[in-house]
Amino acid sequence: MAVFRYLFIVLLVLANTVLAADTQIQKEGREKQKAIEALEARSRNGIIEFTKKQWEELVFVNPRPYDVVVLWNVRPGKCEHCQEA
């Protein structure tokens, strides 16, 4: 009987760990969503121009509880690959 109590306690601890991790992921997602909404509010026509850091944090790395539509546009003279061609 003691073994079953021990297993039950271990399962409870594991379940709480998983729930805590899920809650942390949801919190990070909400914070990122607020950041993206702030960028959108400051943008013209709802189009956000990301810096490299913003791209990595808000688009590339999960959790991301929002969709991102990407339009690649390069300003004249700013494309290293175009200058090589």
Res. 84: pLDDT tops 60: no
pLDDT at res. 35 = 92
Domain count, the chain: 1
- Which two tokens mark 40? 């959108």
Q: Which of 32, 36, 37 is nearest to 62 (CA)?
A: 32
pLDDT at res. 38 = 93
pLDDT in tens, 3-62: 556 555 555 555 555 555 678 888 898 999 999 889 989 988 888 888 889 988 998 888
> Helix (H, G, I), strand (E, B), or coil: what is residue 44?
strand
Q: CA–CA distance from 29 to each of 15, 40, 59, 61, 77 (Å)? A: 21, 16, 11, 10, 35
Domain with 68 in it: 2-84
pLDDT at res. 34 = 92
pLDDT at res. 31 = 92
